[in-house]
Structure 1
């Protein structure tokens, strides 16, 4: 094993709270050194670059790796991992103490490798293989921290997002604090989306989380994400997430309606109406934004499909079908007025 790899693993072991990794050009190390409060914030490998520059920089749980040593470091980490996983797979009985010890080695080697190559599927799968026989919640929580660390330098890594979903799916079986985990996941997606615009993979992960949320959490997410959506009206992914939340609310309403409860359906109707009004406000303020119009199309079609008959039954069961049709026509007339007013006000 190379000294460079030893140094890298020493850094990872010495600071388990590292929460961000980045690759830095050697010319930037001098600037980082100057900005550091103390020289101890920078660690040097024994095979440092010419001119006395180091290969790593760490401060405040932020790790920088020189771009000139990444290839050498990756080759050494890959060889180490492949040897470890080959030895692990040779074992017939995974309940033996030797299998436990070798599993720890595989987990350590795969972590080192994934911080250098986020797309190494075999490394991700090796972690799943070992964790599939574990039940400790702490081990799965650690996987969330590791994948978050990978996402700090590759925000669109499908492998990392997929691994998080696998971990959460396993945690959901026995974890009583699942809703808290889901809130932390939503916060992570929002932070990453702020740094990485139009990040479909991050928002797709957040949409997937909705299936595990309880009703209270879904309502909270709908309200909480409104501020972000208002500031990013061109990001369709955020509005797609709001669609998923509203569909989940509607599904719960339909289920309760089958059970004979109408109160929740009235609440859903009011939520839908509020969403239409809010969307109209944004459309008039930000003319020509496609994401806003696509979202309104979803809201309008869903309103017509689900509420033009059911809502009248809820509020006034004695109303006839003709009065329902009038309401539909009134709604469509209002939509056409909105389209015409925005078309006239557009610069196009």
Structure 2
């Protein structure tokens, strides 16, 4: 890029820097269309929002880019405050340059930049560039640094990480199918799992409820459903923490009722859930013989299963309301894969093991087993017959009204469990 002479550049950068320092509640940055007016500043600051006139964007970026590039190539020293100001301008206008983020990392390491202030700056940049991978990568680096160090934390670690949920929600709202935002949220949740093990189940439940609200109002956003699948895997294999009490009776009753509502779709499922122990219910659901398994927490396993049945019914509701949305049918595919995994896992271990839910294993089982093998493996268990009945009803409802290229027809064609030649209902 050639050198551009822009005398007003440093003055504009100073104005932007002053706004960031003076307004701790600044939330957003954006570029607004405007022609050059020598008597008016291109920097606009109103109601916790920072704006920059479009006419100065190109010359300003050329100014900071050339100076930062020359600085890297010549290895000569500049006043740190000046370099930080250049980086501020460069990253506000184009946050996709890894080199510039690495330069800010160096300033954080040597104490020239405060990590807390950096997180605030990143939120402002993210408002305009909501799907920038470099921003999320830098945020995670800052979080790990702060958690490792501890001295830069103005609040406890859990509060710091929970604040990231708000940031990712904002980014996901600003840019649909924002895979980088949802991936960042997954990484933050994993950090919480390692730091707050005793409270993690409660955090996970809250995220599940938030995911339900999100998916209910963003039915075409598959990135949001992908995050929900991540949560479901976590909930299916969740173990009772030693510091956690046994689930209260009302919670257990409510989660059992969810499973019961799922299974009564098939009128042949006439077992009584309420009068049986959790172990008996699970054995009947999966059609396995009772076996003594020391250490297995059947109450927790039953609760875990209820999240899968709850998600199946939630997915059905959305498909019936919005049948043409491919994200909903693709999510249904995941529910089929996880169904096969949880059936296999309980058959072998009388609980749900994380290794059984690895996607490659699910896909391998799903692709390599013939229809007959799948029927023999899972036939006539109440869970299978209920799931098959629900899938069949979805297929029968939407296939007659959908086009050949409709997501519903593609699901029906590919879904092994929904196309059994001799349906389980007739067995």
TM-score where L is the length of structure 2: 0.63
- Is residue 239–residue 291 contact of structure 1 (8 Å, CA) maintained in 2? yes
Aligned position for 1:43: none
- Is residue 33–residue 53 contact of structure 2 (8 Å, CA) maintained in 1? yes
- Is residue 189–residue 206 contact of structure 1 (8 Å, CA) maintained in 2? yes
Aligned position for 2:206: 220
Aligned position for 2:143: 168
Aligned position for 2:27: 19
Answering whether residue 218 of structure 2 is matched by residue 232 of structure 1, we say yes
What secondary structure is seen at the aligned counterpart in 2 of 1:21?
A: strand
Q: Distance in 2 between matches of 1:171 and 1:205?
A: 16
Shift of 1:237: 0.7
Answering whether residue 335 of structure 2 is matched by residue 299 of structure 1, we say yes
What secondary structure is seen at the aligned counterpart in 2 of 1:155?
A: coil
Aligned position for 2:43: 56
> What is the correspondence of 1:325-340 to structure 2 with a 5 Å cutoff?
325-327=379-381, 329-330=384-385, 331-340=387-396
Q: Distance in 1 between matches of 2:304 and 2:211?
A: 17
Aligned residue among 101, 104, 110 for 2:87: 110
- Is residue 31–residue 54 contact of structure 2 (8 Å, CA) maintained in 1? yes
Q: Distance in 1 between matches of 2:136 and 2:319?
A: 32
Aligned residue among 2, 8, 13 for 2:7: 2
Superposition RMSD in Å:
3.3
Aligned position for 2:54: 67
- Is residue 13–residue 86 contact of structure 2 (8 Å, CA) maintained in 1? no
Q: Distance in 2 between matches of 1:4 and 1:109?
A: 10
- Is residue 185–residue 206 contact of structure 1 (8 Å, CA) maintained in 2? yes
Q: Distance in 2 between matches of 1:283 and 1:22?
A: 37
Answering whether residue 68 of structure 2 is matched by residue 81 of structure 1, we say yes
Q: Distance in 2 between matches of 1:107 and 1:53?
A: 25
Shift of 1:222: 0.9
- Is residue 237–residue 304 contact of structure 2 (8 Å, CA) maintained in 1? no
- Is residue 168–residue 185 contact of structure 2 (8 Å, CA) maintained in 1? yes
What secondary structure is seen at the aligned counterpart in 1 of 2:55?
A: coil
- Is residue 13–residue 85 contact of structure 2 (8 Å, CA) maintained in 1? no
Q: Distance in 1 between matches of 2:221 and 2:19?
A: 40
Aligned position for 1:150: 125
Answering whether residue 104 of structure 2 is matched by residue 127 of structure 1, we say yes
What secondary structure is seen at the aligned counterpart in 2 of 1:69?
A: helix
Unmatched 5+ stretches in structure 1:
28-47, 92-100, 315-321
- Is residue 25–residue 67 contact of structure 1 (8 Å, CA) maintained in 2? yes
Instruction: Classify 1:185/1:345 alpha carbon distance in 2 versus 1 (closer, same or farther; 3 Å).
Output: same
Aligned position for 2:266: none
> What is the correspondence of 1:186-225 to structure 2 with a 5 Å cutoff?
186-213=165-192, 214-225=200-211
TM-score where L is the length of structure 1: 0.76
Q: Distance in 2 between matches of 1:275 and 1:166?
A: 33
What secondary structure is seen at the aligned counterpart in 2 of 1:57?
A: strand
Q: Distance in 1 between matches of 2:61 and 2:338?
A: 51
Q: Distance in 1 between matches of 2:345 and 2:69?
A: 62
Aligned position for 1:34: none
Shift of 1:233: 0.7
Q: Distance in 2 between matches of 1:145 and 1:228?
A: 24
Q: Distance in 2 between matches of 1:90 and 1:297?
A: 57
Aligned residue among 159, 173, 183 for 2:134: 159
Q: Distance in 1 between matches of 2:330 and 2:301?
A: 24
- Is residue 309–residue 324 contact of structure 1 (8 Å, CA) maintained in 2? no
Q: Distance in 1 between matches of 2:309 and 2:219?
A: 19
- Is residue 161–residue 202 contact of structure 1 (8 Å, CA) maintained in 2? yes
Q: Distance in 2 between matches of 1:85 and 1:142?
A: 25
Runs of 4+ in 1 over 6 A off after TM superposition: 254-258
Instruction: Classify 1:123/1:323 alpha carbon distance in 2 versus 1 (closer, same or farther; 3 Å).
Output: closer
Shift of 1:169: 2.4
